[in-house]
Amino acid sequence: MHFDKILEKITSGKKALALLIDPDKHSTETLIHLVNIANTTPQPDVILVGGSIVFNGIEETIATLKEHTSIPIFIFPGNAFQVAKNADGILLLSLISGRNPEFLIGNHVLSAPLIKKHKLEIIPTGYMLINSGTDTSVLYMSNTSPIPYRKNDIAIATALAGEQLGLKMIYLEAGSGAEKPVSNEMISAVKENLKIPIIVGGGIKTKSQLEQVLNAGADIVVIGTAAENTPEIIREFSQTVAEF
C-alpha cells in the first residue's frame, strides 16, 4: 500500500512532503511542467489532487499525472463527487472542526459505494480548518467556522477526539491562499498530545516557514499555492524535507 511507505518513513523519524494540485489551476501544459519539476530527486512523497470546486475533471488530471510520474497520487476530495478510479488512494476527510453533517458523514455516505468499487486505498483523516486571517474557499463551501488561531486547547481536544474515533491522521489546514500558516504553537501543542501523524497545509510560501512548521512537529507538509505561483519551489521544499 502506497501510504504505508509514507507512514513507515514518518515512524522512522523522517518528514514527508505532499504536493497539492487543483485541477482548475492548471492547463495540461502547466501540469506537465509542474510534475516534471516534482520528478527531480528528491521528490515529494505524494501528490494530492482536488479542490473546493472542480470544473476540470479529476480523472483527466490524474491520467495526465500518471503518464509523467510514478509518485503516488491520492484524491484530496472537496465533495462527494471527487472520486476517481485511476487514483492510488484517497484521503477520506472528515471536517471535525466544524458541525456541518454533510462534511462529517453526509458526503462520505454518497461516495462510499464508488470508493469501494474503485478499490481505492483509504486514509481516514480528521480535517481541521484553522482561522488564517482570511476567508478561504473551504470555509465558504463547508459553511463552518474555523478554529480560532490562538485557541490551542480547542485544537488539541478536537484532534484528540479524531484520534479516539479511529482516524489515522489529523490535517491542520489554514486554507488555500492563507495569509499565514497554522501557528507553530498550535502544531506543537497538537503533536504533543497525539500518537497519530499530523499534516499541516495552507500559507506555507517560503523555506523559512517550511522549516518552522517541520520544527514545530508537522509530519507531512502540504504545498499548493506556492507551487502554482513558483513551480521551482518544489525542488527547494523537497530538498529541505529530505534533509530535515
Cβ neighbours, 10 Å, residue 127: 25
Q: What is the DSSP string of 175-244?
A: -TT-SSPPPHHHHHHHHHH-SS-EEEESS--SHHHHHHHHHHT-SEEEE-HHHHH-TTHHHHHHHHHHH-
Query: Is the entire prediction scored with pTM above 0.75?
Result: yes
* 185-201: pLDDT as tens digits: 999 999 999 999 999 99
* 192-242: pLDDT as tens digits: 999 999 999 999 999 999 999 999 999 999 999 999 999 999 999 999 999
- pLDDT (0 to 100) of residue 133: 79
- Cell numbers at residue 200, please? 499541516
- pLDDT (0 to 100) of residue 41: 93
Structural domains of the chain in order of their starting residue, each with its CATH number: 2-243 (3.20.20.390)
- pLDDT (0 to 100) of residue 102: 94
Residue 96 and residue 108: Cα distance in Å, rounded? Answer: 13
- pLDDT (0 to 100) of residue 66: 97
Which of 28-32, 64-68, 98-102, 178-182 has the weakest average pLDDT? 178-182
Mean pLDDT of the chain: 94
The amino acid present at 11, given as its one-letter code, is T
Confidence of residue 134 (pLDDT cuts 50, 70, 90): confident
Q: What is the DSSP string of 207-225?
A: HHHHHHHHHHT-SEEEE-H
Q: For the chain, where are the E strands, in sequence order?
A: 16-21, 46-49, 73-75, 89-95, 121-129, 169-173, 198-201, 220-223
- pLDDT (0 to 100) of residue 56: 82
Q: Looking up cell 479511529, which residue turns up?
A: 166
- pLDDT (0 to 100) of residue 166: 98
- Cell numbers at residue 149, please? 488561531
Confidence of residue 57 (pLDDT cuts 50, 70, 90): confident
Q: What is the mean pLDDT of residues 51-63?
A: 89
- pLDDT (0 to 100) of residue 124: 97
Q: Looking up cell 518544489, which residue turns up?
A: 234
Q: How far is CA 163 from CA 8, 61, 105, 117, 159, in A?
A: 18, 32, 16, 27, 6
Q: Looking up cell 534533509, which residue turns up?
A: 243
- pLDDT (0 to 100) of residue 140: 83
Q: What is the mean pLDDT of residues 106-120?
A: 96
Confidence of residue 143 (pLDDT cuts 50, 70, 90): confident
